[in-house]
């Protein structure tokens, strides 16, 4: 079990970065604050170039698109929840509530905004001595290969609100990748990685890859609108920001994280 938990720790780093945000550290005095980045791209080629810059040049930990993790997973679905719960608990003790962060950087320029002016570049900081709690979920169009029809990314300044949102999305058949509710995260990845009928790990490698392609994205800042730049606060207060592809049928996401203390500015898109 210890070996399995160690293996799944690699998977955990992927889970916590899925919405483009990273976990806040519970003890700010002893651990560096973290920055989560979410960037939209028009084409998969631009996305691949963004991954190269973030990962190879700026030394960010890129979560989406994710690496093929199939070889690291236990063979049986029955072994996954207990082992993965240990990983989530260890992360919470070390890093604080799962899905929380201290600083977020967002670049939505690679998508078409339903609300004019919201497809822009901006940053937010968590309240002093506080955190922003995120819920990241995807509504699957298919699970093998993994194809996401709608992506929901929501932000809160109270953990109870994040928990309620996660449960609401799960009831609507979303896969809740990131939230303070461990059972929903475990259930989401159980569905992605395992055949629910046989209880065995899926055999097609395409079943394990979340490419970052999505047909629609909603980012909900209504509960923390006051943390956004002044020009975005009023539209954020009124409703979630919604984005469609500029070209074709998909927006291509890159999510990455890095310690703020060693993080340069993100790259400018061409």
DSSP symbols for 4-45: HHHHHHHHHHHHHTTTS--PPPS-TTTS--EEEEEEEESSHH
pLDDT at position 150: 94
Segment 142-152 mean pLDDT: 87
More confident residue, 29 or 59: 59
| DSSP class per residue in 129-186 | T--EEEEEEEEEEEETTEEEEEEEEEEESSHHHHHHHHHHHHHTT-EEEESS-HHHHH
Domain range for 165: 2-23+33-258
Q: Is residue 269 part of a domain?
A: no
Classify residue 265: in a domain, yes or no. Answer: no
- Percent of the chain beyond pLDDT 70? 79
Q: Is residue 102 part of a domain?
A: yes
Quick one: pLDDT band at residue 59, thresholds 50, 70, 90?
confident
Our count of domains for the chain comes to 1
pLDDT at 154 over 50: yes
pLDDT in tens, 216-259: 999 999 999 999 999 999 999 999 999 999 999 999 988 777 76
Taking residues 89-96, what's their average pLDDT?
60
What is the residue whose two structure tokens read 């979560």? 63
Residue 230 located in a structural domain: yes
Does position 25 have pLDDT exceeding 50, yes or no?
no
pLDDT value of position 232: 98
């Amino acid at each position: 079990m210890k070996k399995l938990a160690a293996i799944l720790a690699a998977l955990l780093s992927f889970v916590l970065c899925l919405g483009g945000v990273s976990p806040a550290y519970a003890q700010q005095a002893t651990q560096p604050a973290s920055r989560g980045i979410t960037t939209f791209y028009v084409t998969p080629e631009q996305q691949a170039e963004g991954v190269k810059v973030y990962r190879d040049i700026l030394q960010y930990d890129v979560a989406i698109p994710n690496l093929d993790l199939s070889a690291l997973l236990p063979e049986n679905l029955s072994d996954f929840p207990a082992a993965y719960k240990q990983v989530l608990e260890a992360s919470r003790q070390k890093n604080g509530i799962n899905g929380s962060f201290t600083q977020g950087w967002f670049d939505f320029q690679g998508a078409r905004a339903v609300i004019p002016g919201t497809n822009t570049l901006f940053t937010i900081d968590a309240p002093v001595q506080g955190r922003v709690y995120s819920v990241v979920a995807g509504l699957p169009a298919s699970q093998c290969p993994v194809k996401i029809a709608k992506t929901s990314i929501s932000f809160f300044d109270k953990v109870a609100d994040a928990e309620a949102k996660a449960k609401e999305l799960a009831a609507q058949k979303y896969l809740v990748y990131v939230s303070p509710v461990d059972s929903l995260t475990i259930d989401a990845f159980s569905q992605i990685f395992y055949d629910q009928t046989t209880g065995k790990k899926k055999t097609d490698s395409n079943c394990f890859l979340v490419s970052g392609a999505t047909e629609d994205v909603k980012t909900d800042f209504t509960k923390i609108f006051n943390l956004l730049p002044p020009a975005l606060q009023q539209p954020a207060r009124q409703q979630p920001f919604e984005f469609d592809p500029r070209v074709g049928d998909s927006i291509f996401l890159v999510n990455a994280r890095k310690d703020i203390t060693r993080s340069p500015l993100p790259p400018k898109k061409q």
